[in-house]
């Protein structure tokens, strides 16, 4: 999730469903746990995309669901029309669970048919939600996330899903997040665990370029709809410097494929640059106007999620540890930008003060217990930003504590590298909180780590930064109870954050 999101609180929508007959063919299956097959059809001219799902199920009820309530879009079914099941079943809509529940009279192969309306809604107030979380289908162009148009079979034990095109649009630039070299003729085998990260891009405006980053294939996708910026030039430092140096920062030699997509808002007049990460596979940025440092910081933050918040996260439900996955990641974003020379000292200080330190202490909900964040997350910008603000300050303080405890020989980087090694050695997904503390105890007293997290990250107490010792040349001062960071002119910030 980007660091400068502005998300509307709620969208009230009506569910319009029209049921029509449609000729469907029943696929042949050889085993009970065969992967569901999603066949997509689109003529490339309309805003309607057809989905036919061939699947197996036992007699009784089977549900298909949108996997997440992403973007607070609780009524996603307003985008679906002409829902139909084959002759052997009936269905009902469970809007509260974002599901279609199908009753089958017999076991075997079945089909679910529906159409997705991706007509672009121009709504300045809710543009972020619409353009990030709703299907976008227009003549000659498509940007669509699997979680927003492919209903997921809840009961299947299959480890993969299959996606293929039936009726295909004309041959134009086409990119699939999980299979960058795929064409419209390709049959995609998608691990069920990666379903959330499947995104399709298609359009006459797309420009796709391939790079090698530490031997890994990286892809840049930009849009010719942008008539203001030369995005290929603006993003070039990421491919030449930031991405390679990020691998060095993490001492990471694990193979990886990655993409960076950027395109302007369709909705005019937007003032927020935003985006979303596709797990460890890539990042989508939506922006407006001239490319600025703000864009650089968003791309850096989101692509850093390949590690923190992506592969490296503390296992939990809700928002309890987003101070780490978002906030500490944001501090590492500044660390990387400063260390690569892509952010100077003046910008580092100005951005950290305005958007993190001062913003936290001025935030009217800064005392909220972290366990209440999930409940209030969509209640406004202040709630969304709490985890970023708290975690950034925690990361900054932790880095200073480690540097001072080790006489400058260790930094937060050493802690994170050890944490990544622990995750890769012992886990296939997520660390536990105890893992975090045990690894951290190699660098600082465990009791100190626990106390700081409980007091400042969980309970929501504010640091008294006048009592926090920092490395030479870094200072906090208070004005009207609001802390502000300053860095001495003698400090070379690129040297401070080198690796």
Q: Give which of 144, 206, 220 is closest to 173, Cα–Cα.
A: 206
Q: How far apart are CA 217 and CA 223, in angstroms?
A: 20
Q: How many other CB atoms are there within 10 angstroms of residue 124's CB atom?
A: 12
Q: Are 303 and 260 in contact (CB under 8 A)?
A: yes
> What are the φ and ψ backbone dihedral angles of 412, each rounded to 5 degrees?
-60, -25
Q: Give which of 211, 175, 197, 208 is closest to 283, Cα–Cα.
A: 197
Q: Give which of 137, 114, 121, 120 is closest to 48, Cα–Cα.
A: 137
Q: Give which of 187, 174, 263 is closest to 227, Cα–Cα.
A: 263
HSE-CB for 356 with a 13 A CA cutoff: 27
Q: Are 315 and 432 in contact (CB under 8 A)?
A: yes
Q: Are 50 and 42 in contact (CB under 8 A)?
A: yes
**pTM for this prediction:** 0.86
CATH of domain 37-202: 2.60.40.3650
Q: How far apart are CA 48 and CA 118, in angstroms?
A: 6
Domain range summary for the chain, segments of one domain joined by +: 37-202, 206-303, 322-496
Q: How far apart are CA 60 and CA 90, in angstroms?
A: 10
Q: How far apart are CA 330 and CA 388, in angstroms?
A: 7
Q: How far apart are CA 423 and CA 426, in angstroms?
A: 6
Q: How far apart are CA 226 and CA 236, in angstroms?
A: 16
- Cβ-based burial of 494 (10 A; exposed 0-12, middle 13-18, buried ≥19): middle
Token readout for 95 is 């809007």
Number of H helices, E strands in the chain: 14, 21
Q: How far apart are CA 118 and CA 122, in angstroms?
A: 12
> How, if at all, do strands 99-104 and 216-223 pair?
unpaired
HSE-CB for 61 with a 13 A CA cutoff: 8
Task: Classify each residue of 127-139 as buried b or exposed e, where b means 16 or more C-beta atoms within 10 Å of its C-beta.
Answer: bbbbbbbbbbbee
Q: Are 189 and 195 in contact (CB under 8 A)?
A: no
Residue by residue, pLDDT tens for the chain (499 residues) are: 443 333 332 322 223 323 223 333 333 444 447 899 999 999 999 999 999 999 999 889 999 988 665 554 555 677 788 999 986 789 998 877 788 999 998 888 999 999 999 988 788 887 887 788 888 999 999 999 998 899 999 888 899 999 999 999 999 999 999 999 999 999 999 999 899 899 999 999 999 999 999 999 999 999 999 999 999 999 999 999 999 999 999 999 999 999 999 999 999 888 888 888 888 899 999 999 999 999 999 999 999 999 999 889 898 867 899 999 999 999 999 999 999 999 999 999 999 999 999 999 999 999 999 999 888 887 888 999 999 999 999 999 999 999 999 999 999 999 999 999 999 998 666 789 999 999 999 999 999 999 999 999 999 999 999 999 999 999 999 999 999 999 999 999 999 999 9
CA 93 to chain CA mean position, Å: 28
CA distances from 496 to 35, 200, 249, 269, 382 (A): 52, 41, 14, 39, 31
Q: How far apart are CA 65 and CA 95, in angstroms?
A: 10
Q: Are 142 and 175 in contact (CB under 8 A)?
A: no
CA 469 to chain CA mean position, Å: 34
Token readout for 396 is 């900054």
What are the start-end ranges of the E strands in 158-301?
160-165, 174-176, 188-191, 199-203, 206-213, 216-223, 258-264, 274-277, 282-287
Q: Give which of 117, 120, 87 is closest to 18, Cα–Cα.
A: 117
């Amino acid at each position: 999730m980007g660091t400068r999101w502005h998300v509307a609180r709620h969208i009230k929508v009506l569910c319009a469903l029209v049921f029509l007959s449609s000729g469907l063919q029943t696929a042949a299956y050889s085993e009970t746990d065969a992967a569901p097959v999603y066949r997509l059809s689109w003529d490339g001219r309309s805003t309607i995309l057809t989905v036919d799902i061939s699947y197996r199920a036992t007699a009784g009820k089977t549900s298909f669901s949108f996997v997440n309530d992403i973007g607070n879009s609780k009524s996603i079914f307003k985008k679906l029309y002409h829902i139909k099941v084959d002759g052997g079943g009936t269905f009902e809509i469970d809007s509260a669970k974002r599901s279609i529940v199908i009753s089958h009279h017999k076991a075997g192969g079945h089909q679910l048919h529906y159409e997705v309306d991706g007509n672009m809604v121009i709504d300045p107030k809710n543009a972020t939600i619409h353009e990030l979380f709703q299907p976008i289908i227009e003549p000659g162009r498509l940007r669509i996330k699997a979680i927003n148009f492919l209903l997921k079979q809840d009961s299947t034990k299959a480890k993969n899903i299959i996606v293929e095109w039936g009726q295909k649009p004309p041959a134009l630039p086409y990119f699939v997040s999980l299979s960058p070299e795929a064409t419209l003729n390709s049959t995609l085998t998608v691990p069920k665990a990666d379903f959330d990260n499947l995104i399709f891009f298609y359009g006459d405006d797309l420009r796709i370029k391939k790079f090698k980053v530490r031997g890994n294939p990286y892809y840049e996708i930009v849009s010719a709809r942008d008539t203001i910026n030369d995005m290929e030039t603006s993003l070039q430092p990421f491919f030449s410097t930031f991405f390679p140096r990020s691998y060095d920062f993490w001492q990471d030699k694990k193979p990886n494929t990655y993409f960076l997509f950027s395109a302007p808002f369709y909705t005019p007049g937007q003032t927020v640059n935003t985006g979303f990460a596709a797990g460890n596979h890539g990042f989508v940025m939506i922006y407006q106007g001239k490319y600025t440092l703000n864009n650089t910081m968003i791309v850096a933050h989101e692509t850093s999620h390949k590690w923190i918040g992506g592969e490296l996260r503390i296992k939990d439900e809700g928002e309890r540890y987003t101070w780490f996955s978002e906030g500490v990641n944001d501090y590492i974003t500044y660390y990387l930008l400063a260390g690569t020379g892509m952010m100077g000292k003046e910008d580092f200080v100005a951005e950290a003060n305005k958007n993190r330190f001062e913003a936290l202490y001025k935030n009217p909900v800064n005392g909220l217990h972290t366990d209440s964040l999930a409940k209030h997350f969509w209640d406004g910008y202040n709630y969304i930003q709490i985890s970023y603000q708290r975690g950034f300050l925690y990361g900054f303080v932790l880095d200073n504590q480690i540097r001072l405890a080790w006489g400058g020989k260790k930094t937060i980087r050493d802690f994170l590298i050890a944490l990544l090694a622990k995750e890769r050695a012992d886990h296939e997904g997520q660390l536990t909180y105890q893992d975090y503390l045990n690894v951290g105890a190699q660098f600082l007293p465990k009791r100190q780590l626990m106390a700081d997290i409980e007091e400042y990250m969980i309970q929501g107490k504010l640091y008294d930064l006048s009592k926090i010792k920092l490395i030479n040349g870094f200072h906090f001062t208070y004005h009207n109870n609001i802390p502000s960071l300053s860095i001495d002119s003698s400090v070379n910030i690129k040297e401070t954050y080198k690796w």
